[in-house]
Amino acid sequence: MSVSRRGLLIGAAALGASWSLGCASTRKVSGGGGGKRILILGGTAFLGPQLVEAAQARGHTVTLFNRGKTRPELFPNVEKLRGDRDPLKGEGLKALEGRSWDAVIDTSGYVPRLVRASASLLAPHVGQYVFISSISVYKEMTRPDLDERAAVATVADTQDEKVGEANYGALKALCEQEAEAAFPGRATNIRPGLIVGPGDPTQRFTYWPVRVARGGEVLAPGSERDPVQFIDVRDLAEWTILALENRDVGIFNAVGPEKPYTVGEMLAACKQASGSDATFTWADAAFLEEQKVSGWSDLPVWVPPTGEESGLSRVSIAKAVERGLKFRPVVDTARDTLTWFNGLSPERQEALRKRGGLSPEREREVLALWHQRKAGASQAG
C-alpha cells in the first residue's frame, strides 16, 4: 500500500497557492507578546493567514511579501510588498532591500537557492529567521519517537529545483541549512507534520469530520488503537509566534496532540463534533492493501503501524511542548473544520472531495467485500 506522504505534503503546498479559502481563527489569543515587526514570506494561503491573525492578536505589526496572486484582498490594513522569491524573476526581492524587521517567517520556501537568497539578503537587517519546514526531512520513518537529532534525507543533485516526491524532504532539509547558515544561532526551523483544520485545501483530515457527519456505516482503517498525529493550523500558528517572541532557536518538531492519540479517538471526536449516528467498521491493514485502499490518501491521517512509514504518526514533540506548544481539543478542530466545509459552495465542496478520501461508492464496495471476507471466515471456522 503506497502511503506517499511526501507526495501529499507537496500537494498541500501547491493547492494552498491556488485554492481560495475563507477561514478565521475561532480561539482568542491573549495579547502581550509585545510589538515586534514581523515579515512573512507568503502569508495568504493556509498557514499564513493564521500567522497574521496570531501575530496581530499579540500586538505585533506584520508585513507580507508575496506575488499578490493568492487572495490579495486579505488583510487590507497590512503592509504588502510585491515581488518574487526567485531573484531572477521580475523584481525579485527588491522590495525587501533597505528594510529591517525583528523577525521573518518563511512559509513558502521549498528550494535551497531561493531560501539562501532571501535569508542572505535579510540577515544584516533581521533578528531571527523562522523557517516552516516539515517532518518529511527525516531520512527514515520506521522507528517511533524520532526527535530533532535524527538524520535527514539527502539528495544527489542539489541543483535540481523541481520539487517532487523523491526529493521534497531532502530539499526542505537543505532549506533549513541555508537558513541556519545565513542566521547562525538566530534560525528557528519548525518541522510540522500533518497540518489540519478550517481552510485546509486538501482532504488530509477534512474527509473524516465530513464523512462521519454523514452517518451510517463508516469504513475505518486498521485498528482503533493505531496511532495518529496532526496539528491544528491555528495551534501551529500561535506557537510559531510564541517561539518568535521567546527567541527560541534551533529545530522543533511541531505536531500533536500532546499525548499519544489513536485513530479510534480521532473518529470518536469527529462523531462527537457532528452528533451523527455513525458506526465504525474496522478493516485491517492487510485487507486494505489487498483492495488497494491506501492510508494517508484514501483513508487520511492513518498510516499502517508497520512498514517504512510507520514512524510518521509517532514523532517526538517533547522539545516543542517544553517550549509552550499547546493543543486545542480534537473535537474542536473537527467541529470547526466541519463548519467551515459546510459553509463552502457546493462546487467548492465537490472540488475538495475529489482531492482525497474514498467516494461513497468505493467505500460501500470495500465494506461489502470486508463483510464477505468476515462471513466466509466465520463459516470456515
Tell me the pLDDT tens digit for each residue of 254-263: 999 999 999 9
Residues 6+ apart with CB under 8 A from 113: 161
355 three-class SS: coil
In a domain, 313, yes or no: yes
Residues 6+ apart with CB under 8 A from 162: none
Specify the range with the lowest mean pLDDT, choosing from 31-45, 122-136, 264-278: 31-45
In a domain, 381, yes or no: no
CA dist 149 and 252 (Å) reads 10
- 268 φ/ψ angles, rounded to the nearest 5 degrees: -65, -40
pLDDT (average), residues 205-228: 98
In a domain, 171, yes or no: yes
In a domain, 378, yes or no: no
In a domain, 360, yes or no: yes
In a domain, 49, yes or no: yes
**pLDDT grade for 36, boundaries at 50, 70 and 90:** very high
Number of domains making up the chain: 1
CA dist 328 and 333 (Å) reads 7
What range defines the domain where residue 364 resides? Answer: 5-373
Instruction: Give the CB-side neighbour count of residue 25, counting CA atoms within 13 A.
Output: 22
pLDDT at 95: 98
pLDDT (average), residues 13-37: 48
Instruction: Supply the CATH number for residue 46's domain.
Output: 3.40.50.720
In a domain, 12, yes or no: yes
57 three-class SS: helix
In a domain, 311, yes or no: yes
Q: What is the pLDDT of residues 92-118, one digit of tens each?
A: 999 999 999 999 999 999 999 999 999
